[in-house]
Structure 1
Amino acid sequence: MKSIASLAVLLMAKGFKFEDNSKKVKQQMSQANEAGMEAALLLIEAQAKALAAVDSGEMRDKIDHRVTNRGNDTVGQVGSPNEQAIYNEFGTGEFAENGAGRKGGWNYQTPDGKWHHTIGMHPQPFLRPAFRQNKKKIQDIIGKEYGATFKGK
């Protein structure tokens, strides 16, 4: 079996020229990753906003996304910096998913000075369903981005 180096020499000897396009292809792959991820995250973000519980609308309105690169990986995140987001997603107290909340309830005071007792809040997930309900669409979006980027050039 001939090595790649000897193959390149053999091809050059017969009038062929070896051209290394790996850097260009890697750059195109990275761009396709980012474009596909951006499109997929916009879909998930829109779905999460549609599914989010609304009181004042602040949590829903702050749902956002970001794309980052970590080494060779393109990472997408959708979430809300609103502190209520995690409580809505997983529930609280006795209703928290996997029994992870505090038991027995607690008292709290609202801004109008009234005291209330609660045993927690049922989960109202919006982020995980936004992803799970769209897995096939996400795969299609990313696949189409690769198809458009690498169309036989």
Structure 2
Amino acid sequence: MTIKGLNSLIRKLDALGGNSQKALKTGIRKGTMLVQGDAKELAPVAEIDGGLLRGSIQAKVTEKNGDITGKVSTNVEYAAYVEFGTGQRGEGSPSPPKSPENLNYRQDWAGMDAQPYLYPALNQNKERVKAIVKDELKKEIRKLGGN
């Protein structure tokens, strides 16, 4: 996801002596938590012993070589099957874009429909995440007396 005008805000903040990395990290953390919350709401829960998938959805922000990345994920082994579906029904589901992992949908069984929760959570929040990051940078500029 790209944010229009982000480089200009970062330059202005750094020129004023601010901490653009801290502001970016705060904004990305807030945006990542927003997406995590929506993913948890959208994740299906089985009637019997359900909730493992929903409870496993986590948000993490990392910084490496100056790049800050927000990630919402789950480590439940069946998570991809829920997101993308399985078998004939999964392949035919009007779900999110298919996995970049090149899933093979077995054609010898009906399978289950996709029940996307991660992709929609990100997609419905793209503009809000961008606004959160911009707002954090603007707050840092205001602290320094900038406009």
What is the TM-score of this pair, normalised by structure 2?
A: 0.73
Task: Tell me which of 85, 99, 106 is aligned to 1:102.
Answer: 106
Output the CA distance in 2 between the equivalents of 1:88 and 1:149: 40
- Looking at both structures, which has the greater relative contact order when contacts are Cα pairs under 8 Å and sequence separation is at least 6? 2
The amino acid of 1:148's aligned partner reads K
Residue ranges of structure 2 left out of the alignment (5+ in a row): 1-13, 92-97
Residue ranges of structure 1 left out of the alignment (5+ in a row): 1-20, 106-118
The amino acid of 2:80's aligned partner reads I
CA displacement 1:5-57 (0-9 Å, x = unmatched): xxxxxxxxxxxxxxxx76x54xx111111100110011001100110011110
The residue aligned with 2:58 is: 64
The residue aligned with 2:94 is: none
Output the CA distance in 1 between the equivalents of 2:54 and 2:37: 10
The residue aligned with 2:5 is: none
What count of residue pairs does the alignment treat as equivalent? Answer: 117
The residue aligned with 1:54 is: 45
Output the CA distance in 1 between the equivalents of 2:37 and 2:87: 29
The residue aligned with 1:147 is: 138
The residue aligned with 1:131 is: 122
The residue aligned with 1:41 is: 32
SS at match of 1:100: coil
- Matched residues, percent identical? 32
Output the CA distance in 1 between the equivalents of 2:112 and 2:77: 14
Structure 1 moving runs of 4+ over 2 Å = 95-100
Output the CA distance in 2 between the equivalents of 1:67 and 1:134: 17
The residue aligned with 2:20 is: 29
What is the TM-score of this pair, normalised by structure 1?
A: 0.70
The amino acid of 1:66's aligned partner reads K
Larger Cα-atom Rg? 1
Higher strand share: 1
Output the CA distance in 2 between the equivalents of 1:64 and 1:152: 31
